[in-house]
Structures are given as C-alpha cells and as structure tokens.
C-alpha cells in the first residue's frame, strides 16, 4: 500500500470526520426549513460553527461557511475595492487563490518580499505603510498567509497585523495550511479576515470557512437565499460542515510535537547529502512539512520515482491541472532555476508513522545515489 506523504495537498479523512458526516447525512433536512428535520440540520450547522469558532478563538457569528479555502480567499479579495482599496499588498509566497484573485480584481498589486528563509519582510511592510498616501493609495489592504503550503514556513502575521491596524488598513490571513496543524488564534492574529479549508486537516474536501472580524467589510458575491446571514447564499454543506468541526476536534494536543520529531529525523538523514538543500530550515516551520531540492533531479521525475517505489509526495508546487510548475515560492526565496525545478515537498500528518518516514528516506536516498552519477555527467 502506498505511503501517503502529501497531507498539505489533502489530509485523508479521519474516522471521526466520516462518522460525523454520516450522522449529518442521516439527519437529512435543509437547515433553512422550519420543520423538525430542518431544525435538526440547523442544529448540526450551528453546533459545528460554535466549535470551529472556539477552535480559532473567535465568535460563532464571525464564521461564514464556504466551499473551501479558494472561495474564502476570493471573497476577501473581491471585497477590497468596495472597502476603499486602490492597491493590494500581497506576499510573494501567497497561494494562487490569493494571487490570481488579486490580479483578477483589476486593483494594482504590490508584492511583499520574503527573506531567503521564506519569511515575509516585516521591515519592508513597515516602511511601505509608513509612506502610504491614503488619498492616492486608498485603504491599505494586506494579505499574508499564516504558513506556506510548499515550505511550511510560518509567517509573522501578528507583527504584520499590528502594522496594518496602526495604518488603519485591512488585513487578510490565508490560514488554510496552519489550521489544524498548529494553533491559529484569529483574535491574536489581528486579522480582519482568515481563510480556512477542512481537507487540509482530515476534514472533507469542498468545505471551508471565512473568519471575519466584526469591523471587516464584506461584499456579497453569492446572491440567493440569504444563508450565512446574507453573506454567502446557498444551502449549507451540512455534512461537510459537521465533518470539518469533527476533524478539528480530533486534532490531538501532541500531534505537533510528534510531527516535528518525524520532520527533524527525516531532515537529519537528508540534509547532509551532496546537492540537497532544505528550504526554510532556519525559520519556524509547520511541523509536518519538509521541502527540499536535489539539484539536477527534476521534481516531476522524483515524484514518479517515489510513486513507483510506493510513496506519494508532491513536487514543490502541486497544482490542480496535474502539471508541475516551477515554484514561485522558492524563486522568491532566491532559489536558482535549477533548485526551484528540483524541489519536492514531503508533508505528513495524522496517518504517518516513524516507519513510513524511515522507509521513505531509505527509498529516496537509494534512488538519489543511483541517479546522481548520471545527473553529474549530464549537468
């Protein structure tokens, strides 16, 4: 059986999630209906909303359910113009759900650079906001993800949030990768908005949420039945929402420590090999993520070789079309083209064991040793 090491793409469904979803499907009913089955569905949604709000340190009324992280990010960016933004500052390492939405908004986009370790440059942000011309530039609108999907590097969201609040701007955090892996405190982040997705922490695909601070403006994009207090029309995904809450509840307190121990042991075996570079090694990272490049060994070839050996990993930047694009994130960190083209991501989670990672390291090192003389000869 394949050893699954691609939890940042999707973390497999937890049994608690499946059970909660089956219970919700069995309850039936539309949460907007006033009869008994409708009220039962409404109770499931509101119980989940309260649990999710508690998990992220916010109020239940500030949770808007969406179809996932992409929609939550798009909802925020689509609100920027009406909120008075004439320029968007987004970090160089944002997911396409933020970056492409920003480009599509037609608003001028500025890129917040990152250090070679992949951490957003807070001094740059401070200087930029100090020189902000509110008349010309409108309301400052800044997007910085909580943790990067490729490298796992954790971002200084609280520091950024403080700067944006001081500049009387609006601050968005894509917390999709951090949620359920390490604690994300929405109130403490000082963000106005945060995007979440259930399937990155053992919940179902196709459901997520937008967290909104009470002073955060939101432009309605979905018009219809007025669900989610008019902020996102459409019948709620009752089973998905129940599964999302159950997945978060199933996150064990010691998960992060166990993941960090697995990551560190794996890194130790790989980092000293010639031609290998670990990305973000000097920064605070998600405990479950290891991103490395093996110069000259194309990422897609590595992914195929490991797949044949029974391990599911991803190229540095996995994308929905199945094609592997060169990693923008690593380029922003100063990677050469060759390094960016040879980066892979190993991301593990609640299904992973020490034995999985030991066997992966054995297989990868064996294959690298086999292919390396040829890489050296052609490179």
Catalytic residue IDs: 319
Supply the minimum distance, in Å, between the C-beta of residue 194 and ligand PLP. 11
Task: Compare residues 145 and 247 and give the one whose CB is closer to ligand PLP.
Answer: 145
Place of tokens 């106005």: 192
Tell me the three state secondary structure of residue 54: helix
Residue nearer to ligand PLP on the CB measure, 115 or 177:
177
Least Å from the CB of residue 32 to ligand PLP:
24
- Starting at the edge strand found earlier in the chain, the sheet holding 87-91 runs 63-66, 208-212, 193-197, 170-174, 141-143, 87-91, 108-112
Question: In whole angstroms, what is the distance from residue 217 CA to residue 102 CA?
Answer: 17
Total interface residues for ligand PLP by CB under 6 A: 13
Q: At what angle do helices 36-55 and 238-250 cross, to 10 degrees?
A: 40
| Nearest-approach distance from CB 166 to ligand PLP, in angstroms | 26
Q: Which is nearer to ligand PLP, 126 or 185 (by Cβ)?
A: 185
For the bound state, the minimum distance from the C-beta of residue 369 to ligand PLP, rounded and expressed in Å, comes to 32
Q: How far is CA 363 from CA 56, 186, 315, 351, in A?
A: 38, 40, 17, 19
Q: What stretches of the chain show up as alpha helix (H) in DSSP?
A: 15-27, 36-55, 69-78, 96-104, 122-130, 134-137, 157-166, 186-189, 238-250, 255-270, 299-308, 328-332, 337-341, 354-378
Interaction mask 18-57, ligand PLP, x per CB under 6 A:
----------------------------------------
User: Would strands 343-347 and 289-294 be described as parallel, antiparallel, or unpaired?
Assistant: antiparallel
Q: Which residue is nearest to ligand PLP (CB)?
A: 69
Region class of 246: left (phi > 0), else alpha (psi between -120 and 50), else beta: alpha
User: Is residue 232 involved in binding ligand PLP (CB under 6 A)?
Assistant: no
149 touching ligand PLP, by CB under 6 A: yes
Judged by CB under 6 A, which of 13, 63, 145, 167 binds ligand PLP?
A: 145
Task: Pull the structure tokens for residue 62.
Answer: 């500030």
Binding positions for ligand PLP, 110-139, rule CB under 6 A? none
Contact characters 191-210, ligand PLP, x per CB under 6 A = ------x----------x--
Which of residues 17 and 149 has its CB atom nearest to ligand PLP in the complex? 149
Burial 301-312 (b: 16+ CB within 10 A, else e): ebbebbeebebb
Q: Of the two residues 68 and 118, which places its CB atom closer to ligand PLP in the complex?
A: 68
Q: Is 121 exposed, middle or buried (0-12, 13-18, 19+ CB in 10 A)?
A: middle
Task: Between 73 and 352, name the residue whose CB sits nearer to ligand PLP.
Answer: 73
Q: What's the min distance (Å) between Cβ of 128 and ligand PLP?
A: 23
Q: How far is the CB of 316 from ligand PLP (least distance, A)?
A: 13
Q: Which residue bears the tokens 């570079």?
A: 277
DSSP 14: P
**DSSP letter at 198?**
G
Shortest distance, CB of residue 76 to ligand PLP, whole angstroms?
A: 11
* Chain centroid offset of residue 262 CA: 20
**Interface positions, 53-112, toward ligand PLP (CB under 6 A):** 68-70, 73, 95, 97
Task: For residue 280, state whether it binds ligand PLP (rule: CB under 6 A).
Answer: no
In the bound state with ligand PLP, the residue whose beta carbon lies nearer, of 179 and 292, is 179
Contacting positions for ligand PLP (CB under 6 A): 68-70, 73, 95, 97, 145, 149, 174, 176-177, 197, 208
């Amino acid at each position: 059986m394949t050893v699954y090491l691609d939890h940042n793409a999707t973390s497999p469904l937890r049994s608690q999630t499946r059970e909660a979803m089956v219970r919700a499907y069995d309850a039936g009913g539309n949460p907007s209906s006033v009869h008994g089955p409708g009220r039962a569905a409404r109770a499931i949604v509101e119980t989940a909303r309260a649990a999710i709000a508690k998990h992220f340190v916010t109020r239940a009324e500030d949770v808007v359910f969406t179809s996932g992280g992409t929609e939550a990010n798009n909802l925020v960016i689509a609100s920027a113009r009406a909120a008075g933004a004439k320029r968007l500052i987004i970090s160089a390492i944002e997911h396409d759900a933020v970056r492409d939405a920003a480009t599509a908004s037609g608003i001028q986009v500025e890129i917040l650079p990152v250090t070679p370790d992949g951490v957003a440059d807070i001094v740059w942000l401070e200087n930029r906001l100090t020189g902000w011309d509110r008349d010309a530039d409108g309301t400052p609108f800044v997007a910085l993800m909580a943790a990067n999907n490729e490298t796992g590097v954790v971002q200084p969201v609280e520091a950024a949030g403080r700067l944006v609040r001081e500049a009387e701007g609006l601050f968005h955090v894509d917390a999709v990768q951090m949620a359920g892996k390490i604690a994300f405190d929405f109130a403490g982040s000082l963000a106005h908005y945060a995007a979440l997705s259930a399937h990155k922490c053992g919940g179902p695909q196709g459901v997520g949420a937008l967290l909104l601070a009470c002073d955060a403006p939101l432009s309605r994009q979905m018009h219809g039945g007025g669900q989610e207090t008019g902020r996102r029309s459409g019948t709620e995904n009752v089973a998905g929402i129940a599964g999302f809450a159950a997945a978060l509840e199933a996150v064990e307190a010691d998960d992060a420590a166990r993941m960090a121990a697995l990551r560190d042991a794996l890194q130790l075996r790989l980092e000293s090999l010639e031609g290998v570079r670990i990305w973000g090694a000097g920064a605070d990272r998600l405990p479950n993520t290891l991103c490395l490049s093996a110069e000259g060994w194309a990422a897609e070839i590595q992914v195929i070789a490991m797949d044949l050996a029974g391990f599911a990993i991803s190229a540095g930047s996995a994308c929905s079309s199945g094609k592997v694009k060169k990693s923008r994130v690593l380029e922003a960190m100063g990677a050469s083209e060759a390094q960016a083209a040879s980066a892979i991501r190993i991301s593990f989670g609640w299904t992973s064991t020490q034995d999985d990672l030991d066997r992966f390291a054995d297989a990868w090192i064996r294959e690298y040793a086999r292919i390396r003389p040829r890489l050296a000869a052609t490179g």
